[in-house]
Every structure is written in C-alpha cells, then in structure tokens.
Structure 1
C-alpha cells in the first residue's frame, strides 16, 4: 500500500515553505540524473536550474557541477505536492431575462455566439431559459493591446520572443506554469495584472518562449515510432482478407489503412505491414497487440490533428482542513479512498501511454467530493467548460447528474454496474448483471448443445430469466442424481449443465454426479456468474477443472501479453501488483482517449467499433436511448488449473 500514500500526497492540498542556509547549493550530477530529477530533489523547478546554469539546456553530463537555488534565509514557496484547484471564475455572470436571445447577448457583451455556447454547453441543447445564469467569456482588451505591443517588439533586435496562452475553464496559474515548464514567479512577473486576482476565462497570458523548457507537442507532430511497432507479413497462397483477419486479429479496413496497395485485394507474395502482436516495449500499452476477430485496434486509426481535453472526476474527498496525520490515517483505513487511488494509479499509466503514442491530449484531474447521495459536480461545472469527454463520477446518480448538466459531452461511467437512466451522452462502461448472464446464454445458443439447468429452489428469478431468454433449456429439479440426469442428457452432442445455487453442498454433489456421467456423455459445466461458493473447501477444484467449467466475466482472467505488460509497468512504477480497480482505471481511460481521436468522432466510434484493453472489452450498444457496454468474456477452467477464453 506504500504507493497509495505517495499518490495521495501528490494530490493533497497544501503548500510548504523551506529555509536554506545560503542562496545556492552545488550539486554534482550523478549517473543517469536529469535536470528534472535534480529539480525534484531540491524542490525547485527545472527553469530555476536552467536560469543559473544556461549550458544545461543542451544536456548535462555525469560529474558536472550545477548551482541549485535555495534563496538563503527567505521562505521559498516550494509548492510541495500541490493539487490543482478549479479556477474561481472571474467572468461576469448574466441572468437571462424574458425575450433575451443568444444573438442579443453576444452583441450586449461583445462576444461571439460560439464563445457563449462553449462557456455554457447546456444552452446548445436546451436553449436559453428565463432566470438561467450563464457565464460571459471575457476577451481581456488590455491583454490584446499588450499583445500588439509585444508583436511590434518582436521585430527589434535581440528582443525577447513572446507567445500567449488563452485561459480555459478549470486552469490555474500554477497548472499553466507547470504545463509550460515555467516557474509560477516568472509567469506572474510577465502578467502583473493577474498576480493577485483569479484568472478570467479567455484571458491571454503572456509567456516567454525562451524560458519555456517543457513545450507542448504541436498537434499533428510526428513522433518517432518504436522500431518494433510493426512486422512484415508475406501473403500466403489462396489467403483472403477473411482468413488473414482471423489470423492476425485486425479488420480488413485496418489492414488497408496500413497497406493502401491492398485495397484491390490480396496477392500471393505481397508483403504487408501489420501491428506487432508482441512488441518488446514496456512503455506504450494499447498501441500494438493481437486482437480477437471483431475487435478493432483503435491505435492504428488515430487522428492527432487537434489537442483535446479529457476530465477525470474522481472521489478523493480531500478535507482541506485536516492535518497530515489524519489524512495518512484515512489512506490506511478508508477502503473507498483506496479503491479511488487504485483507479487513479491505473489511469496515470494510461495517460503516459497515450502521450508515448504522440496523442496530444490534455487531462484534468478533479476531486468529485462524492458519496452515494451527493457530489461537487455543481461546483466543478466551471472547470469542465470546453472538455471533450469526462470519466466519472463513480456513483450512478452522480454520473447521471453530470451527464444532464454537461449535455452533449460524452460522460463515461467507470465503475457503476447499474443500468440507470438512459441518457444519450452517458456511456455505462461496466456491463450490468443481466448483460453478463445473457452473454452466457448467448454463448450456449451459439454452441447448439443440449442445455440442462440445475437451479436452486431459492433462485426463482434466475430460473425465470433462463426461461424467458432460452426456450430450449431443460430443468433438473431437486437433489441431483444420475437417475435424474440420464433422461435429460443427449449422448449425441455436448451437454451443457447450467448450475446456479448458493449452496456449497449442492455444488459439490452436482459436480460429483456429473463427473461420473462423463464416462458415457460429453458434459461441460457452466455457471451464470462466478461466486465465492465455487471457492468453498467443500467444492473439489479438481472436478471443476475436469468439467472445464464455463463462466461469464467482465474481466479477462486468462493470461495475455497485454495484461502482463501492464502489470510489469505498474509494479515498476508503484512497487505493488495492480488490482482490478487499477486495471479498470487503465483500460477505461486509455479506451476513452483512443476513441476521442478516431476520425469518425467519439459517438460514431462507440456505435461501430468494439475494442479491448488489458482486462476489459468495450462493445457498446444503444438500448432505449442509453449506451451500454456488452463486452463480456466467456472463460473456462482447464485441467492444468489455468483459465482460457472459451472457443
């Protein structure tokens, strides 16, 4: 749990002050050290080191001596483990009056209708409502004049080169300085007008290009791809797109996208460029792997022309007034917080992976301050203006409220298993219990075997669910014996026995009877869900594996290279193995980012493309106006005690 404490205090809302003996310290560069590493060690910014050591901008060598500022005797605000707060909106708020229109307001405040819509997304779908309070974007005319003067200065010899950043909702001076690798002090020196005041939306901050160390990747910038990202494949005699897609696990369209010459068909001997299913890389997850038929590799069809924003609303529930010890105790004892931090840790690796793919995504992490009955979504609304997608909150009623407030913006529910209200912009990423059970029945229908259900007397709803959805199922009632089962079994085909009970004794008795009958019949056990009863000491695991028990699962419990790669990366970064919530955080976050950058847009991609990450599959379907993930795995036990995906 050590990594959780580290993660938590990377979010804690406090700043510290440090006192040094002198103004500077000398630091000898160790092997493999970077300027960023040194800056973190001394709790300064990389800019502070570059300012004192200009040559270090060209790289540093082992053994070199660097000056590191300590501001002797003066309190230095180190911003230790600072969490970004949503910016307090300093913009005018207008209350809509009767007969007012968007056009009239744009003229009244000298802003465009498009800017008004961007600052208030709900008016796009609902229009203006009497009494509604809307945010008025500001242009900052003083800044425009300043920018004009700065442009003239650019022509002067040796004059500093400036650039400008337009403030977006949710941004702070600290977050912007961090994004551009600048110190907060320098940013305020360049923009004295906002030094002691909150940032208004639309304000143009002046930045010194020569002082920016960590520049953003320009949209569409070409990054060098890993050398082993692709392999060459020679088309075999009589090979078709159908056989090749089943062999390599990507679609015909994806093959043609990588190989335009193949648009007229495959020819024997043709050399194709295909994703490497086993890249020797521990950094980029989701970029290259083997896919099952029908699953799209979203990483090969990315459109990186535009920078987009993703927001994560996670319930850290930070108490700003609490002391360090009480917060540490909360990390040690609060299970809900630990689940949140696990999800967050996985999401961070997904964000790193997206950046390694060259995806120009900006991510906001906001504290949703939620319980099962409330959240801070009303207070966070200003910080979500202009985002392209939102993951969270966790609880169903909170994520539904978020979808209603942010109409038109995709809202992804990351953990709730409830079906909830069907909203057009809400995407339930966890299959419901009924979807999981239905997946098992659909698989059995596909196999066209003889299906016999053994259902506990207390499970009347389960029996009715099977009757309603699979008319051909036979039912075996009471205590199972060979005499009861033999008339129901078919010696000419596979017999699937669906078992649903809460009694360990009934499970034990049923599998013993079925095991004996396997001498004369083809039998495979199936359950509607994998419960703790199956792990009871009364139930012989050896018989479950002999019967190759089938079960439906939201997560892929079988071994796969992608999961192994993620586990390795997570353990290296956090010192522990990832649990289901960490894997969920990675899968949901990466899947959403990849869908945000598809050429056809997020909604169309959701409707037409299935995807798969490390442990989770995303196959969205529209039902009664809502969007639900039907991605369920059918797995089975093997006699060698392993778990495989069922054929």
Structure 2
C-alpha cells in the first residue's frame, strides 16, 4: 500500500510539473515523406510563417525535410487529410474559409486545359476552385465550361512577416561580421536594419546600440540555443539521463516535446527534439575568431579549399551550415588561420586581381596638388633651374613623383581606362591651397593626390571631406589632425618597427642581443627590450659615441651578436659600423681563438644610414637589416616604360613612388569608382617599389601597413622573404 501511494504521489508531481507546458499550446510534428511546410501548416491550421518563427533553424520551406522535428504553435484544430472531397454546405464553408474573395472573374475553359493548369494560372488551390464551382465535384472539366474564379485580397507580407526586434549593445572587440554571425544574418541585413551605420567604413564602437532580429523558435528564456537535432530514444533512457547527456534540464526537454506529456513519459523509439549547444570556444569576437562573408555561387568545397580548413571543422564552428550555404552568410574561423590568409579588420579577404577586374566604363577623375614651385623657377634659365632642383628637396620630390605618375597614366590608358586629370601647383603655401580650393570646383573628383606638406594637406583634407573625396598623402604617415578621408601612403614608424621585431622574434634562437640607442629613440629602445628582455644596453656618450671598452666586453664569442643601432646621427652610425665591422673581421684575437660574429639592425631607418660617411662595405659585412616601405625596383616594366618616355633617364625613388601611388589609385578606381568601398575588400597590392595595404582607423584615416625587411648582402640591398607572407592582389 505504501509503495502504491509513493507511485501515485510521483505521478501527480510529474503531471503537475507539466501543466504549464500544456498552457503554451505547442505540439511537435515529425515530417513525413512528401510533406511540405504548406501542407503541414494547413493540417494544423496555422500560417507557414508561424511555424518558421517557432523553428529558428528552419530558414525557408526548402529546409523542411523528412524526419525533421518541428514545433507547431497551435491556434486551431488539427485537420485530418480526407481521402476524397465532398460538397459542404454554406455554413461549413464560412467556418473553414478564413479569407473571402473580394470579387470573381469568368473563365471559359479551353481545349486541353486542366484543373491543375487553371489553379496555377490564377494562383488558387483546387479546393478554392471547386468551392465556388460545385459542379466540379461531380463533373469533369469540359471545353467551353464557364467557371467562377475567386480573386482574394493581396496579403501584405509585412503583416505576417513582422519580426520582433531587440536592441543589442556592441561589446569590445566585436565587428559587423562577428555581430552578423552571432545573429545569423548577413552584413547587408545589418545595414538595412541600422541605416545610421556609415556605409563607407566597417567601424563599430563598443557601447553602440544596434537593432537586430530577436532570436526566434526558442520559448525557453534561459536556454541559449541556435539549432535543434532529432533524437530517437533508445531502450531504458530516462528524462534525467537524457538531460545529463545533452546538458539541459529535464523540464526544458518536456517543453520542447509536449508529446512526452501526452504519452505519459519518455518512451523507447520516440523521436524528440533537442537543442544543439552554442560553440563554447569563446565569445564571438575578433579576439577569438576571424570571419568570412560567403559570396554568390560559392560552394562548400571551394570555401574549404580557399580558407584552408576541413569540412568537419567548418561545420563544427558554423552549425547553421547544416541548413545550407547562402550568399551573405558570415562564417567564423579559428584566429590561428589569420597567419595563412589575408585578413583585414578580422575579415578574410578574397583574392581580387585588379588588372583582370577593370571596368572600362569607369572614368576616374583625378587631381594632383604638388609644390612645383613655378613661382621660383625660371624655365628660361636652365642652369639656375637645375641648381634649384638639386638643392630643394620638395621640388625634386614633386617633379620626380609627377614623372612617375605620368607613366602610370600611360599604363592605365593602355588597359582601356580613360582618366580626367587636373594638376595644381601648391607652391608649398597653405594660402595658395586655399585659393585653389576656393576657385576650383571639386565636385565629381574621385581622388586627390597631394599635397606634400602637413598644413596644405590638412586644408585639402577638410575641404574634400565635405564632398566625400579621398585624399592620398604621398609622403606622410600621419597627421596631428584626424581626417577620416585621408590615405596615408607611408607606414607609421610603429608599423615598420613591429615588422622587423616580429621577424627577428621568429628567427631568434640564443643570439646575444645588444641595444645602442640615443635619448631621442627611447620608444625604439623600449620596444626592442620588450621583445628581448635579456638584451644588454650599451651606454651612449652625449648621443654621439660609445664607451668603446665597455661596449666590446658585451660582445660574445660564443654566440652570434645582434646589435640594434637606434640613432639619426650620421657620425654615430659611421663610428659604430666601423667598430662592429672591425670586431666582426678579427680572427684569433679572443682568449678562445674564436671569431666574433656580429650582425647590425635598426628599427628606425633614416638618412643617417645613407650618409656618405657610412661605409656600404661595412654595412654589407654586418648584413645590416632594417624595415622599409620602399624596396629597390629592378628592371621591370615600369623602368622600361620610364626610360623610353624620358630618353633613357633612369627613375629615382621619387619617380618609382609616383608611379606606384598613382597606379594603385587608378586600378582601384577602375575596379570600383569608390576608393572607400574598394579599400574594404582589397588587401595588399604591390608595384615597382612600394606596396599598399590600407587599414581604416575610422576617424583618423586609412593607414598603410605594407612594408618590407631589407638586408645589405654582397654590396647589394635585397628583400628578406618572410615565410607565410600573403601575396599581392596583382
């Protein structure tokens, strides 16, 4: 008796726990062969969209496949499929018909027409056709028969497809792609929902609020799930053990599967619906993942090949792929993949060959603003003009840059692209720049190259920003002011420094590191020390020279010596290179009789290392290595075109830079006539002697990250080829 009472109490508690579930009016349905979303919705007398709302993983009707478990929100009685149609009376018609026709049109049956063809033509069902033509229940369709075709009111899709939205606060290290991935939408959908987002940048600020679709299909507020799976209950499986296996409470299982209550508990062979948990590898942000946006006509095989990832890992990280691959879908990838792929702002970029992607319909409008100093140059006096060019760096730079730019214009013309060009002499005067801007109409200009000096550049940037015109700074790496429309074509010192130090950190084994830095290069000193904490510090006297004896004892004859020299004093560079070269070539003078091996580096390459007092032979013996935004151009197509255009004259580095900067701008504008938009999806581009890889810093502008590691070797300067470097888009 006592045992019977315990069983009775347990049963009552179990069913009481299930009472709130029945109040929700949900049922589950296992899709059978031949069933569709429409037929299921008709069976349960609900709209197809209400089923989609309750089943988040089902994106559209094509996702409803055999054996899929659906949650059905019950709003009416379930209708059973009848073997044959019978005439119904008028009262039953009104009860079953939810939408009444607003009018009728007459249709005369033609030869070979069928009921199926007529219903398709007028977008109605066979049941609707027969309901208003009751003779079709007992008669066959005959030629010249007159039918009444019901015309129903058009349903506003917004009435049925009105989604619930929520306000989402952007977290630190989140991007548009990480947020889109988290909510299972495309970036385009994110922009449509949030029209205030700037379409010319991908920036998201931490704390910014976004309007996003509220996740649907999960009535459990505390249960964070994205997708569901069907599970066939094996023998002896209980709710408790099933909950432990899937890591969810037993009441959540019952809420998702109301038929458990109807059948008095979990039964062997029952097919239930269980949630797939979210990926627990970390928050979906740029600290843990990189992202890829699926393009039209791509397939899983091609994506796995391009992203260098297995199909299994891709599906594990992106369970939504089980519902099919769709254009605009944002996929997340392991952060480690960034070393193998080209990534910008945590987004994996596709390879785009700019030369092959030119649209000849685009006709870029380009403006050059450079200090040619025509106010100082007397063209009639050749001797004085040559002397002026020789002594004025700004004039030599402008003329060299412009001669290279002219070759770029010739080159783009041969590719079939026409360019409108205007050139202005800024005279290195900010007042002159203001006069030009006041006088000339910049409307329709696609890009401005120049000016050189900081003041005129700021003036042009401010005026151009109001018209959303990009400004390319030919020799600047930064500005004291913030300009979100300026492309700084020279990398910052910090980028160059990090390039070299990262490379050296990878190849470092047990070398003896020594730092020689004057007081003006404290930042470089600290950066080197952070990478190599065991480095020795050499004392510098009056920012000019070394204490020789104290320095020499720091050199090791057991290990290779890596000496960093951070200064902009030519005399100090000449002195230190001479000392190091002497130590490097002495053999048998140490106590052990071993040769001292020395290599010299700098993170702050400048004109002091190119001074005539510095021996190039010493630099070569020391395998002097440094970071640079410029590499020596060889006998490439540009050099040939330049010498041909200018009667055998070889281009200097200013001419090379003029060609590279101009060609980069022209090719990007020929691909898409919006430099801001192009910069989102084009990564590294390389030309004769310079590379460009712009990173948008939102309010501060676009900063070039492309640079090289150069090394003196056998009296020549060569580029050091780092492993796993991403190839250019050219």
Query: TM-score normalized by structure 1?
Result: 0.49
Query: TM-score normalized by structure 2?
Result: 0.44
Higher-Rg member (1/2): 2
Higher RCO by CA contacts (8 Å cutoff, separation 6 or greater)? 1
